[in-house]
Amino acid sequence: MTELLQADTAGIARAVALLRAGELVAFGTETVYGLGADATSDRAVAGIFVAKERPRFNPLICHYADGEAAFADVVANAQARRLAAAFWPGPLSMALPRRQGCTVSLLVSAGLDTLAVRVPAHDTALALLREMVCPVAAPSANCSGHVSPTTARHVMDGLAGRIAAVIDSGPCPVGLESTVLDLSAAAPVLLRPGGLTIEAIEAVIGHVRRVDQTHRTGALRSPGLLASHYAPKLPVRLDAMDVQRNEALLAFGPPLQGAGAVFKLSDAADLTEAAAHLFAGLRKLDEDAASLGLERIAVMPVPEQGIGRAINDRLRRAAAPRP
């Protein structure tokens, strides 16, 4: 049985007790719900891979209550410190070399000599991390390859019975995963667009190299970034200019007419609002499909700017050929 905990003092205390005992607890952050484990325990971290049925080669993000704690485990360069000062707590994960003596399980790095660290901007998550003292490794709290959860119910839908508890802190305000930057080499590289825009990052540290990993399948620098990821059950058709009765429509701005079902990401064509609703929308249309006999999700075009880049990244992965 998976316990559903309130995001209050008692709920957080219970979550901490479970995590300290090596159990898995899902918790809300500003981006998506994470599936947390004591990052210093090999056994607890291994449990994450089992619960998610995640391929073992995919490294996890390590969560901290503040930048000082994060930089005790990795070697931070000047750029990392500037970014932390500007954007932490917030939706930015930085991959940096593991510091000698770092007690985080090697499983979290999945064979890399770097560790991705982040300080989430979320009261419940920060309260949990402060009480835990040790870092918490947490991938998104979904089965591997599925859409990330942005509510406690989404977590339960995928992982009930496989994890000890979920703290229900309501819907995640950003709705997309953190931006992942590799700062372990001389030049910074964007590994995953996300909740913090590349424009904001470049305003602080200058040019950041983009690596388009959407079509790569070989040795990935960030192994989680497989072409097909964030996949709903239905096939996905991008940049729809019209829609058919047998299709569900994911609408951006005023919806096209004629779809079998519609989910509105944002009536006002607001990118931030659309990001917050993206994963809930894909899930909702999957659910509608079963009862309405729909065969595909048609997606209206989303502008490639600001957080729209991260939305389009997730949509392209959702539309990519499935393995």
- The residues that touch ligand TXA, with contacts defined as CB under 6 A, are 29, 31-32, 34, 58-61, 91, 93, 95, 109, 112, 114-116, 118, 120, 138-140, 177-178, 180, 182, 191-192, 222-225
Could you say which of Mg ion, ligand TXA, none residue 29 binds, taking C-beta under 5 to 8 angstroms by partner kind? ligand TXA
- Please work out the total of residues on this chain that contact Mg ion, with binding judged by CB under 5 A: 1
Q: Which is nearer to ligand TXA, 139 or 260 (CB)?
A: 139
Q: Which is nearer to ligand TXA, 180 or 319 (CB)?
A: 180
Residue with tokens 């998104």: 140
Beta pairing class for 209-210 and 261-266 = unpaired
Rule CB under 5 A: is residue 150 a binding residue for Mg ion? no
* Window 51 to 80, contacts with Mg ion (CB under 5 A): none
What φ, ψ does residue 212 adopt, rounded to 5°?
A: -80, 105
Q: Which is nearer to Mg ion, 140 or 169 (CB)?
A: 140
At CA 211, angle to CA 205 and CA 213, rounded to 5?
Answer: 145
Query: Which residue is at the shortest CB distance from Mg ion?
Result: 140
User: What stretches of the chain show up as alpha helix (H) in DSSP?
Assistant: 9-20, 42-52, 67-70, 78-87, 106-109, 123-132, 152-159, 198-205, 271-292, 308-319
Least distance (Å) from Mg ion to the CB of residue 32?
Answer: 8
* Preceding omega of 89 cis (within 30 degrees of 0): yes
The residues facing 210 across adjacent strands are 190
Candidate residues 40, 79, 114, 140; the one interacting with Mg ion per rule CB under 5 A: 140
Q: How far apart are CA 88 and CA 48, in angstroms?
A: 25
Q: Which is nearer to ligand TXA, 137 or 249 (CB)?
A: 137
Residue with tokens 């064979």: 111
Which among 134-142, 150-158, 246-254, 269-277 is the span making contact with Mg ion, rule CB under 5 A? 134-142
Catalog residues that contact Mg ion under the rule CB under 5 A.
140
